[in-house]
Amino acid sequence: MMRAARAAPDAIPDETMTIDFETYDDDNIFARILRGELPSETVHEDEHVLAFRDIAPQAPVHVLAIPKGRYIAHGDFHRDAGDAEIAAFWRAVASICRDLDVTRGGHRLIANQGPDSGQIVPHFHVHILAGKPLGPLVAG
Ligand code: 5GP
């Protein structure tokens, strides 16, 4: 079925419209961070998960948690990853939130998938945002 053409809303970065969300890109930024080819400020690492500070923080605390496996977004992660990998990922996210001391004050988890969400890095990641009242769930 043909997909109807749509204008990109202002809030969606242009680059997301050109990303291939069907095939994992081994040269995406987070794959390169995982291989150590690009620096990152690591806050957590274990067998399955890496978490590091976002380069352009949208809140006083803005950390990205990613699985080490080759997953584009939450859809293929939850379809293709093993149960142990999925459990390890979400347990790590909760543990990172405790370590960041953002449990009592509160925090927001965001996982973008595909163009309408504004996803710009095609490696599954969860944003952990905290440190101030975060406002409405969806901008605009
Ligand atoms: P998305 O819109 O794909 O859900 O979010 C991707 C996030 O990755 C953005 O918040 C962006 O600031 C962050 N980001 C992009 N490039 C880099 C990078 O090279 N290093 C780090 N630490 N974060 C990045």
Is domain 14-130 classified as CATH 3.90.400.10?
A: no
pLDDT at residue 9, rounded to an integer: 58
Q: What is the pLDDT of residues 112-140, one digit of tens each?
A: 999 999 999 999 999 999 999 999 999 87
pLDDT greater than 60 at residue 1: no
| Alpha-carbon distances, residue 22 vs 56, 66, 75, 114 (angstroms) | 26, 18, 11, 10
pLDDT greater than 60 at residue 109: yes
Question: pLDDT class for 2, splitting at 50, 70, 90?
Answer: very low
Q: Which amino acid is at 124?
A: F
Rounded percentage of the chain residues whose pLDDT exceeds 90: 84
With the most atoms of ligand 1 within 8 angstroms of its CB, the residue from 42, 74, 121, 127 to mutate is 121
**Total-model pTM:** 0.92
Burial of 49 (0-12, 13-18, 19+ CB in 10 A): buried
Domain boundaries, the chain: 14-130
What mean pLDDT, rounded, does the chain reach?
92
Pocket of ligand 1 (CB under 6 A): 29, 38, 40, 52, 54-56, 64, 112, 118-121
pLDDT at residue 69, rounded to an integer: 98
Q: How do beta strands 61-67 and 107-110 pair? A: unpaired
- Residue 7 structure tokens: 């204008």
Note the residue count of the chain. Answer: 140
| Alpha-carbon distances, residue 5 vs 2, 8, 15, 28 (angstroms) | 9, 9, 16, 26
pLDDT at residue 3, rounded to an integer: 47
Q: What is the pLDDT of residues 9-33, one digit of tens each?
A: 566 777 777 788 899 999 999 999 9
